[in-house]
Each structure stands twice: as structure tokens, then as C-alpha cells.
């Protein structure tokens, strides 16, 4: 069984640029959630995708957007990057027999300069 | 709105000590309560998940309890080891999302 993977592991961008982060869900899972974790804080829910549709959204502006593909992998896109977007971005997949338990990937560290 | 608080924010203990980490949540309407471990700069590793109908779960030296009526969960670590040093996060599961506390940073000294 393959776990949740994310790419890239690290990324440095300039304020105003756009970024795309990728996540492959665990085998058998049809739901992907994205979280932002600022330094010293707990992760904050960005949004969730279920069977290619957005299925809930946290308190993040529209410049945070996402996609889920037929194989249930997912992308997080952030436009017009701001310095405060610097964080660890975590992807979690769920579904299958343990539908409520979320399994996290290793994260992507985004630095905005 | 669900809010999750963890106490203490940091804890330093000598190896071999038993310890308790605390988590409280404001809305008792949760699906389950999940405890995670996070090593510096890394992702989250799930330790224990307690469903809302359960009172506790155990895995090895770890035991987690849940009291929905009081809005509290505890993570008990027996016979702590230096390899247990990490940040421990609890998360309350509502519809669609996890709501996390800010974590307890644990340091176990040899």
C-alpha cells in the first residue's frame, strides 16, 4: 500500500508569483484535504476534495484554489503569493474502510521572499 | 466554531518518566479525536484515533482517552524515551475537516 506523497519537498518563490503543489493520495482513498501550517502553529484547514469536487473550505481567500483528478491525486494552487503564505503545506487523504481517519504526507515547505 | 487547546505548550522530562499531555475542545459534537506526532520540519504521523463512541485507545506505550462531555482528551506516554522527543498534536474531527491544537513540544533527556 503506497502512502501519501507530496511534491516538491521545498520551494522558494517571490511575492506575487504563483505556485502549484501536488499530492498523491493513499491507495483506495477518494478524499484529499489540504492544510497550511505556519511555524509554531497547528495546521489550518484550507479545503477538501471528494471525487473531484470541492467538499468544504476553510477561511482562506479565493487565491487558494485546488483540483482533484480522476485518480484522486490533487493540486493546490496559490496565486499572488504573499510573505505570510510561507508555511508547511500538508496534504491528507482519507476514505476506504477507515473513512474518517486522515493520513498525512510529508509536506511541502514553501518560502515566499 | 471548534477550538482546540493543548497544555502544556512544552515539556521536558528525564528518560523513563511517565507523562500526560492534555487536549481540550469546545464543541463536543465531534466524529473522533486523533493524536499525531510531528518531528521538526516533517509531516504528521497518526498515533491514535478515538472514535466518538469510544473512551480510549492503546498502542504500545501510548494510551489516549476521550471524555466528550467535558471536552477533554489525554495522551499518556509510559516509560518515555529520547526517541519520543517531538511535537504532539491533537485534532478534533468535525464534518470534513480536522481542527488542530498548537501542540505540545516534548523533550526527553537521556
Q: Using the beta-carbon criterion (under 8 Å), do B46 and A103 form an inter-chain contact?
A: yes
Q: Using alpha carbons, select from A54, A81, A56 the residue that is nearest to residue A66.
A: A54
Chain B environment of A35 (Cβ under 8 Å): 98, 100
Q: What is the pLDDT of residues A89-113, one digit of tens each?
A: 999 998 865 567 889 999 999 999 9
Q: Using alpha carbons, select from A11, A6, A39 the residue that is nearest to residue A25.
A: A6
Q: What is the pLDDT of residues A1-42, one digit of tens each?
A: 568 999 999 999 999 999 999 999 988 888 999 999 999 899
Contact between A42 and B101 (Cβ < 8 Å): yes
Helix (H) or strand (E) holding B44: strand B44-51
Q: What is the pLDDT of residues B69-92, one digit of tens each?
A: 999 999 999 999 999 999 999 999
| pLDDT given for residue B1 in this prediction | 86
Which chain B residues touch A if contact means CB-CB below 8 Å? 4, 31-32, 34, 36, 41-46, 49, 51, 89, 91, 93, 95-103
Assigned C-alpha cell, A9: 519537498
Q: What is the pLDDT of residues A40-71, one digit of tens each?
A: 899 999 999 998 999 889 999 999 999 999 99
Q: What is the pLDDT of residues B15-52, one digit of tens each?
A: 999 999 999 999 888 889 999 999 998 899 999 999 88
Q: Using alpha carbons, select from B6, B30, B26 the residue that is nearest to residue B87.
A: B6
Q: Using the beta-carbon criterion (under 8 Å), do A45 and B31 form an inter-chain contact?
A: no
| pLDDT given for residue A98 in this prediction | 58
* Separation CA B59–CA B15 (nearest Å): 19
Q: Where are the beta strands (DSSP E) in chain A?
A: 5-7, 10-13, 19-24, 31-37, 44-50, 53-57, 64-68, 74-78, 87-95, 98-104, 108-112
- Length of chain B equals 110
Q: What is the pLDDT of residues B96-106, one digit of tens each?
A: 789 999 999 99
How far is the alpha carbon of A105 from chain B, nearest alpha carbon, in Å?
6
* Separation CA A112–CA A10 (nearest Å): 11
Q: Using the beta-carbon criterion (under 8 Å), do A43 and B96 form an inter-chain contact?
A: no
Amino acid at each position: 500500500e503506497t502512502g501519501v506523497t507530496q511534491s516538491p519537498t521545498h520551494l522558494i518563490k517571490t511575492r506575487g508569483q504563483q505556485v502549484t503543489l501536488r499530492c498523491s493520495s493513499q491507495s483506495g482513498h477518494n478524499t484529499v484535504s489540504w492544510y497550511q501550517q505556519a511555524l509554531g502553529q497547528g495546521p489550518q484547514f484550507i479545503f477538501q476534495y471528494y471525487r473531484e469536487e470541492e467538499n468544504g473550505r476553510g477561511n482562506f481567500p479565493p487565491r487558494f484554489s485546488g483540483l482533484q483528478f480522476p485518480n484522486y491525486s490533487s493540486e493546490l494552487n496559490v496565486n499572488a503569493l504573499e510573505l505570510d503564505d510561507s508555511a508547511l503545506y500538508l496534504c491528507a487523504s482519507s476514505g476506504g474502510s477507515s473513512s474518517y481517519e486522515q493520513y498525512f504526507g510529508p509536506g511541502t515547505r514553501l518560502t515566499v521572499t | 466554531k471548534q477550538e482546540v487547546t493543548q497544555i502544556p505548550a512544552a515539556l521536558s522530562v528525564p528518560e523513563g518518566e511517565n507523562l500526560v499531555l492534555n487536549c481540550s475542545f469546545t464543541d463536543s459534537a465531534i466524529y473522533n479525536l486523533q493524536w499525531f506526532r510531528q518531528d521538526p520540519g516533517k509531516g504528521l504521523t497518526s498515533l491514535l484515533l478515538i472514535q466518538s463512541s469510544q473512551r480510549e485507545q492503546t498502542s504500545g506505550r501510548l494510551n489516549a482517552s476521550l471524555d466528550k462531555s467535558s471536552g477533554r482528551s489525554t495522551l499518556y506516554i509510559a516509560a518515555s524515551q529520547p526517541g519520543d522527543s517531538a511535537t504532539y498534536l491533537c485534532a478534533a474531527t468535525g464534518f470534513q475537516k480536522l481542527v488542530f491544537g498548537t501542540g505540545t513540544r516534548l523533550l526527553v533527556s537521556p
